[in-house]
């Protein structure tokens, strides 16, 4: 007998209740069992809602999710209370995923055009498969995705390998600097777990970890524990922009862009000079440094270079060194300079000086992936590598490019002219849910399913200090939801085309194989008498983890990245005309890197500092704004050596002087009705500076010229400043004195106009009509 998926899960749910043991299970039993009543037909409309556990590989760090499904439609997303990454919490960006699923502009069918000059026209999947068969029989191919830690990335890499092609991953911001710094300091291939919850002092630089960096949901949960009434931890944050993390800090270090590494080493100087570290800790830190190198980072000198007041720097250093356990970390803009690897390496090295490596409240090295095919780590290729690859496209050396989850045209600076290069590639195949700027350059555009409809895996990075695997399962189908979308999964389609060359026939097969392999280990959060029940239990729980499989503390190795660099390098503004020179600080908005720009939920989610929404704004220091007579609502030019954009000015005291912050994600030319031509794309004008160690884009090293356009526009935001208009004084219906009842107040008649609303006799007594005008012949006076 053939079982439907609902019947299959129902059987497993009923069996699981007595046969599968969940270690520290937090999901209510009822939510597991009601998923699929076996005695009811597949298409029965039932009032009960079902909850399915899953993960979103495209989301932030593999948060465990629970999706509420009613009558075949996904209605709500919540955090999986049992998942160790987010422990029942979830990000607002997860909510926006529902609007991608049911988006009115979702790509419904495949589209094709013979040449780049033609128009994309609808075709059916049979025709699309025929076209794909033709274009994939080429001698040169590049497969591009966003960074993937699970089996979707593995399938893309293996497909490129078996077809003799090349695989590349793209992210507009994170391109390997963070991973390189972690490798330098801890000799670790995966990002470490930051035990913020148990720290007494947290020192961070550049990374807005409470809003957008790496694993914001997990870090926000840990921040709550850090600030617990019984454990009031202390937060010091260094960043040029007043981000959500900076606003939450006890001490904000308003560092000049590019000086974060200098400040970190100045803190090390103070800790050593004040005797706040043991002899062994000092030896471990200084043994890999050139002799006397810290003399270049004396606090007074660094205070002058960084813009951080000396008193504040000394206070931060003494607190970090003396109030332990302490943990230091950095990322984001701190690593987005020509010496970004130096900055982050210096920051992470501070953990050795305070004994934080491998200790509670410090940095915990994560273990390797428990899945043989997966590394458990993913980062994008460097900007330098992308420049080289795009040069091959432009030269006509690549015949086919397959793209999924990477809007290259929107995410790369205009200096590389990627749209122009794609037009030199004969076959551009793009998978996606909604048309974007890159899909607009496709010769074959294919509708892709959402994570609600797919099988997959995800290994969170960073893991929570022990081995963790998230399982993704379909929670709805197109037939159940009533959507008129003929979409297919990217991984399943590559496996179909490969025809067994990769070693699997479907993504579901890979998930089941992974679950079976984990079952054979005989350990972890799910225990069952056989592999089938184990797999069903892992799917119901949303994953597998083993708290006993932790990483080992690695030795400190920091020989090549401490040097005498004291000045950051920025692009030139000398030929850009009048205005003031500021350093550009792009930051991640509610739109992520633009991935969620199509959803109105993400568009209207207010920025945590400015409360701005729906368009591009520019956060500028109030004094800098005053110098060019710019106020809130003024439209300004932001010019770089690459190009220029316009933005609405938002003067703010919480912006370091000499900088301007602009959100990422806006300015798409394609993307559906809520994204198209909304705001400006700040990524397009970034200069092509690169980190000298990794070749990553130094996206915080662009200097811009700010000019006033002379035009104004009201900034859409939730924050105050509601305009008041003069109005005539109102007439109160009733004036009630303290302690009076309404009846007593009516009798007392505290306001003469109250009589106007009683009767004609009462109005005659005060000599005014119902409109308050004097009655002719009366002796009333004003």
Among 7-16, 249-258, 683-692, 745-754, the least confident range = 7-16
Residue 22, in any domain of the structure: no
Residue 635 lies in a domain: yes
Q: Measure the CA–CA gap between 67 and 90, rounded to whole angstroms.
A: 11
Q: Is the pLDDT of residue 711 over 70?
A: yes
**Residue 625: its pLDDT value, please?**
96
Residues 199 and 151 in one domain: no
Give the pLDDT band of residue 635 (cuts 50, 70, 90): very high
Whether residues 435 and 457 share a domain: the answer is no
Q: Exposed/middle/buried for 24, CB within 10 Å: 0-12, 13-18, 19+? A: exposed
Final residue belonging to a domain, choices 690, 712, 734: 712
Which of 321, 337, 364 marks a domain boundary? Answer: 364
Q: What is the mean pLDDT of the chain?
A: 87
Cβ-proximal residues to 22 (8 Å cutoff; 6+ apart), any chain: 82, 525, 526, 537, 541
Rounded mean pLDDT, 131-142: 88
Q: Which of 333, 364, 395 is the last residue of a domain?
A: 364
**Quick one: CA dihedral 364, 367, 368, 369, positive or negative?**
negative
Residue 316's pLDDT band, with cuts at 50, 70 and 90, is: very high
Q: Would you state the torsion angle of the CA atoms of residues 573, 576, 580, 582, taken in this order, to the nearest 10 degrees?
A: -40
> Does the residue 675 lie in any domain?
yes
Backbone angles phi, psi at 527, to 5 degrees: -125, 135
Amino acid 281: pLDDT: 93
Q: Kindly state whether residue 574 falls inside one of the protein's structural domains.
A: no
| Shared domain check, 302 and 202 | yes
Tell me, yes or no, whether 669 and 747 share the same domain: no
Distance CA(99)–CA(111), nearest Å, equals: 22
Residue 681 has pLDDT above 50, yes or no: yes
* DSSP E strands, 286-388: 326-330, 363-364
Region of poorest pLDDT, from 432-436, 501-505, 756-760: 756-760
- Domain shared by 359 and 397, yes or no: no
pLDDT digits (tens, 9 = 90+) for 270-303: 999 999 999 999 998 988 777 788 999 999 999 9
DSSP code string of 177-203: HHHHHHHHHH--SSPPEE-GGG-SEEE
Tell me: do 335 and 186 sit in the same domain: yes
Whether 653 has a pLDDT exceeding 90, the answer reads: no
Per residue in 210-229, pLDDT (tens digit) is: 999 999 999 999 999 999 87
Q: Are residues 237 and 354 in the same domain?
A: yes
For residues 94 and 48, membership in a common domain is answered with yes
Domain assignment present for 12 = no
Residue 391 near residue 618, CB atoms below 8 Å: no
Give all strands (DSSP E) within 239-351, no chain letters. Answer: 251-253, 326-330
Rg (CA), the chain: 30
The answer to whether residue 725 scores a pLDDT higher than 70 is no
What is the Cα–Cα distance from 465 to 545, expressed in whole angstroms?
10
**Same domain, residue pair 67 and 153:** no
Residue 373 confidence class, pLDDT cut points 50, 70, 90: confident
Of the pLDDT bands very low, low, confident and very high (cuts 50, 70, 90), residue 107 is: very high
Measured CA to CA, the distance from residue 40 to residue 665 in angstroms comes to 45
> For the domain that residue 134 is a member of, what is the CATH number?
3.40.50.740
Q: Taking the model in full, what pTM does it have?
A: 0.86
Instruction: Judge whether 217 lies within some domain.
Output: yes
Q: How far apart are the first and last CA of the chain?
A: 93
**Residues with Cβ < 8 Å from 228, sequence gap 6 or more?**
none
> 651 and 513 share a domain?
no
pLDDT for 723: 57
Query: Would you say 742 and 735 are in contact if contact means Cβ atoms under 8 Å apart?
Result: no
3-state secondary structure of 662: strand
78 pLDDT exceeds 70? yes
Q: How many domains does the chain have?
A: 5
Burial of 369 (0-12, 13-18, 19+ CB in 10 A): buried
Note the pLDDT of residue 480. 60
| 724 Cβ neighbours under 8 A, 6+ residues apart | none
Confidence of residue 731 (pLDDT cuts 50, 70, 90): low
For 408-444, the DSSP string reads HHHHS-GGG-HHHHHTTSSEEEEEESB--TTGGG-SE
Higher pLDDT, 60 or 107: 107
Encode pLDDT of 540-568 as tens digits. 999 999 999 998 765 555 544 454 454 67
User: Which has more pLDDT, 733 or 197?
Assistant: 197
Average confidence (pLDDT) over 523-529 = 92
Closest listed residue to residue 503, CA positions, set 157, 166, 168, 142: 157
The yes-or-no verdict on residue 604 having pLDDT over 90 is yes
Domain annotation covers residue 742? yes
Phi-psi region of 148 (alpha: psi -120 to 50; beta: other; left: phi over 0): beta
279-286 vs 260-273: helix crossing angle, rounded to 10: 140
Domain span including residue 242:
176-364
Q: CA 141, CA 143: separation in Å to the nearest integer? A: 7
Is-contact 51 68, C-beta < 8 A? yes
Q: Is the pLDDT of residue 160 over 90?
A: yes
What pLDDT does residue 760 have? 53
Q: Is the pLDDT of residue 177 over 50?
A: yes
Cα–Cα distance list, 499 to 159, 506, 673 (Å): 11, 10, 38
pLDDT band, very low/low/confident/very high, at 781 (cuts 50, 70, 90): very low
Q: ∠391-392-396 over CA atoms, to 5°? A: 115
The proportion of the chain whose per-residue pLDDT surpasses 70, expressed as a percent, equals 85
Question: Residues 583, 659: contact at Cβ < 8 Å?
Answer: yes
Given pLDDT bands bounded at 50, 70 and 90, which one contains residue 733? low
b/e sequence 264-279, b meaning 16+ C-beta within 10 Å:
bbbbbbbbbeeebbee
Same domain, 441 and 457: no
pLDDT tens profile 636-649: 999 999 999 999 99
Task: List the CATH number of the domain containing 676.
Answer: 2.40.40.20
Q: Map residue 204 onto helix, strand or coil.
A: strand
Residue 744's CB is within 10 A of a number of other CB atoms, namely 11
Is 80 exceeded by the pLDDT of residue 2? Answer: no
Residue 7 above 70 pLDDT?
no
Secondary element (H or E) of residue 617? strand 617-621
Q: For residues 245 and 299, what is the distance between their CA atoms, to the nearest angstrom?
A: 24
Does 29 map to a domain? no
Beta strands in 99-139 (DSSP E): 111-112, 121-122
3-state DSSP assignment of residue 650: strand
Query: Among 236-250, 459-473, 479-493, where is mean pLDDT lowest?
Result: 479-493
- Rounded to 5 degrees, what are φ and ψ at 38? -70, -25
Q: Verify that 333 and 233 share a domain, yes or no.
A: yes
User: What's 339's domain CATH number?
Assistant: 3.40.228.10
CA-based nearest residue to 434, from 621, 594, 235:
594
CATH number at residue 73: 3.30.200.210
Residue 481, pLDDT score: 56
d(CA 37, CA 11): 8
* Residue 500, pLDDT above cutoff 80: yes
The size of the chain, in residues, is 782
């Amino acid at each position: 007998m053939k079982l439907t998926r609902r019947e299959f899960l129902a059987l497993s749910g009923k069996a699981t209740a007595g046969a599968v043991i969940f270690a520290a299970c937090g999901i209510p039993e009822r939510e597991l069992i009601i998923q699929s009543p076996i005695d009811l037909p597949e298409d029965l409309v039932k009032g009960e809602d079902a909850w399915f556990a899953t993960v979103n590989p495209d989301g932030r760090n593999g948060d465990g999710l629970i999706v509420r499904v009613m009558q075949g439609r996904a209605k709500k997303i919540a955090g999986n209370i049992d998942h160790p990454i987010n422990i029942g919490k979830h990000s607002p960006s997860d909510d926006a995923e529902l609007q991608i699923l049911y988006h009115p502009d979702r790509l419904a069918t495949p589209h094709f055009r013979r040449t780049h000059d033609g128009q994309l026209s609808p075709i059916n999947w049979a025709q699309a498969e025929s076209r794909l068969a033709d274009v994939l029989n080429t001698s040169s191919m590049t497969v591009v995705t966003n960074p993937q830690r699970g089996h979707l990335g593995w399938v893309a890499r293996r497909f490129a390998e078996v077809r003799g092609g090349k695989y590349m991953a793209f992210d507009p911001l994170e391109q390997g600097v963070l991973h390189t710094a972690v490798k330098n300091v801890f000799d670790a291939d995966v990002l470490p777990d930051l035990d913020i919850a148990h720290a007494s002092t947290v020192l961070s630089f550049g990374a807005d970890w409470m809003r957008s960096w790496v694993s914001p949901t997990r870090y926000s949960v840990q921040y709550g524990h850090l600030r617990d009434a019984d454990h009031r931890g202390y937060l010091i944050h260094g960043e040029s922009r007043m981000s959500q993390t900076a606003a939450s800090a006890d001490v904000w270090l308003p560092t000049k862009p590019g000086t974060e590494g200098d400040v970190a080493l100045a803190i090390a100087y103070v800790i050593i000079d004040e005797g706040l570290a043991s002899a062994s800790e000092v030896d471990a830190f200084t043994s890999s440094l050139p002799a006397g190198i810290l003399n270049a980072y004396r606090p007074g000198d660094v205070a002058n270079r960084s813009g951080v007041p000396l008193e504040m720097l000394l206070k931060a250093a003494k607190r970090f060194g003396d109030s332990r356990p302490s943990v230091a970390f950095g990322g984001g803009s701190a690593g987005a300079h020509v010496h970004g690897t130096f900055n982050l390496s210096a920051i992470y090295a501070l953990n050795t000086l305070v004994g934080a490596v491998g200790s509670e409240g410090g940095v915990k090295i994560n273990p390797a992936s428990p899945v043989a095919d997966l590394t458990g780590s993913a980062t994008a290729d460097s900007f330098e590598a992308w420049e080289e690859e795009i040069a091959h496209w432009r030269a006509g050396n690549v015949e086919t490019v397959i793209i999924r989850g990477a809007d290259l045209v929107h995410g790369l600076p205009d200096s590389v002219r990627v749209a122009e290069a794609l037009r030199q590639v004969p076959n551009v195949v793009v998978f996606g849910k909604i048309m974007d700027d890159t899909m607009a350059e496709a010769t074959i555009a294919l509708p892709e399913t959402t994570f609600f409809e797919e099988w997959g895996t995800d290994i969170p990075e960073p893991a929570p200090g022990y081995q963790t695997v998230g399982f993704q399962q379909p929670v709805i189908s197109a037939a159940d939801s009533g959507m008129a979308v003929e979409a297919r999964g990217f991984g399943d389609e590559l496996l179909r085309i490969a025809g067994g060359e990769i070693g699997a026939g479907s993504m579901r097969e890979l998930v089941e194989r992974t679950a079976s392999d984990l079952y054979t280990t005989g350990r972890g959060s799910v225990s069952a008498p056989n592999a089938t029940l184990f797999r069903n239990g892992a799917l119901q729980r949303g994953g597998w983890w083993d708290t006993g499989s932790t990483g080992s503390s690695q030795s400190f190795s920091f020989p090549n990245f401490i040097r005498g660099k004291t000045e950051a390098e920025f692009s030139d503004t000398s030929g850009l005309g009048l205005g003031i020179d500021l350093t550009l600080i792009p930051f991640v908005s509610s739109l992520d890197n633009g991935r969620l720009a199509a959803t109105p939920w993400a568009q209207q989610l207010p920025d945590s500092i400015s409360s701005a929404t729906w368009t591009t704004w520019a956060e500028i220091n109030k004094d800098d704004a005053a110098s060019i007579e710019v106020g809130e609502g003024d439209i300004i030019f932001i010019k770089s050596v690459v190009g220029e954009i316009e933005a609405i000015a938002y003067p703010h005291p919480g912006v370091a002087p000499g900088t301007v912050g602009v959100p990422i994600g806006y300015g798409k030319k394609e993307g559906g009705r809520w994204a198209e031509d909304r705001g400006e794309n700040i990524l397009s004008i970034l200069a092509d500076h690169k980190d000298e160690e990794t070749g990553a884009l130094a996206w915080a090293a662009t200097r811009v010229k700010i000019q006033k356009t002379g035009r104004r526009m009201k900034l859409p935001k939730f924050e105050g400043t509601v305009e008041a208009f003069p109005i005539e004084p109102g007439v109160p219906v009733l004036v009630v004195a303290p302690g009076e009842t309404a009846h007593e107040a009516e009798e007392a008649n505290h306001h003469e106009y109250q009589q106007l609303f009683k009767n004609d006799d009462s109005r005659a007594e005060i000599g005014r009509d119902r409109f308050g005008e004097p009655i002719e012949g009366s002796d009333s006076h004003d």
